Amino acid sequence: DADVTQTPRNRITKTGKRIMLECSQTKGHDRMYWYRQDPGLGLRLIYYSFDVKDINKGEISDGYSVSRQAQAKFSLSLESAIPNQTALYFCATSQFRPGASEQFFGPGTRLTVL
């Protein structure tokens, strides 16, 4: 089974709808992240969380919110979706170790907002 899973894998929705993307991990990592990927822009950080009670905004948090329901679960919400939120969304996890941290990514959710 995959260590980092995302649901759904694909979603088409309409402008103004509320959408939730979910991420679960079995790696036991404390840190979880949400990114979006757009062509030519690489990955941009939306939100990150270092434990259940810790939530931090990333580079592009406007229009998004998150919830860390448990150590293993981190969900991303779009309260009122708009077309320019059409993108590929990735969840990632990491466990801090000095000099050795790396991120582990889920398979992504392709979101289309019409």
Residues near other proteins (CB under 8 A): 4, 31, 33, 40-43, 45, 48, 50, 58, 90, 92, 94, 96-108
In the bound state with other proteins, the residue whose beta carbon lies nearer, of 6 and 17, is: 6
Q: Please name which of 1, 28, 49, 32 lies closest in space to residue 103, comparing C-alpha atoms.
A: 32
Task: Supply the minimum distance, in Å, between the C-beta of residue 94 and other proteins.
Answer: 7
**Tokens for 39?**
């062509």
In the bound state with other proteins, the residue whose beta carbon lies nearer, of 61 and 104, is: 104
Task: Supply the minimum distance, in Å, between the C-beta of residue 108 and other proteins.
Answer: 5
Q: Are 7 and 22 in contact (CB under 8 A)?
A: yes
Q: Please name which of 13, 60, 58 lies closest in space to residue 31, comparing C-alpha atoms.
A: 58
